[in-house]
Amino acid sequence: MADDAFRVAQEQNRYAPHVRAINELVDGLRDQDDRGWMPYVAPWHGGVDARVLSVLRDPGPKTQDGSGSGFLCVENDDPTAERQCHAFKEAGIDIRDTTPWNAYPWYINQKPDASQQEAGAEVLARLLGLMPNPRVVLLQGGDAQATWRRLEKRHPEFAGEVWFQVVRTYHPGRQALWSPDPEVRASREQHRKDALQRVADILRS
């Protein structure tokens, strides 16, 4: 996204067929109930055609309009996006076979509370309803996993993993992976590698 031509291409294709439904959903959710702003999903990703829905906590500063790209994208100019991009590529997961999302999709840049997780779960259910062929929901971090548990309670049709498999692991952010104990750090990193390898194996099966 630091490349002007790349960023302009994302903006120009904001309503390309594969991301139109998702980004029109974003349009309708912005400022809903005074919750504020929400980034689009970059057309660099698979949109509704993606087989992997990748869920983090909340949009980071580099997703903001003006100071950032305005999009959820692994090509955003920030360390977490960079680590995510490298991890997917290392596991053999095609970036364009993924769609990024957040447990709380509005911009708050902090941990969502219980009511925000409830709101995020409802939006996540709506997003899944737009995707005809998801194979994996990748929940990265405790907030993504907590929001998913709320979704399962409200929408038991998603709880049986009939359509897709749910893979859980750590958030790719440095803070989530860090520990003063090097063995713990290594264990968390390995957990992420194993989880992404499982995602890749599911896609190949």
Q: Tens digits of per-residue pLDDT, 70-116?
A: 999 999 988 889 999 999 999 999 999 999 999 999 999 899 999 99
Q: Which two tokens stand for residue 194?
A: 């194993």
Give the span between the Cα atoms of 144 and 113, in whole angstroms.
Answer: 12
Look up the domain containing 193 and give its range: 4-204
CATH number of the domain that residue 157 is part of: 3.40.470.10
DSSP 42: P
Q: What is the pTM of this model?
A: 0.94
Strands 40-41 and 71-72: parallel
Dihedral (CA of 16, 22, 26, 29) sign: positive
Residues 69, 118, 149, 173, Cα dihedral to 10°: 30
Counted domains in the chain: 1
User: pLDDT (tens digit, 9 = 90+) per residue, 112-165?
Assistant: 999 999 999 999 999 999 999 999 999 999 999 999 999 999 998 887 666 799
2 burial (CB, 10 Å; 0-12 / 13-18 / 19+) is: exposed
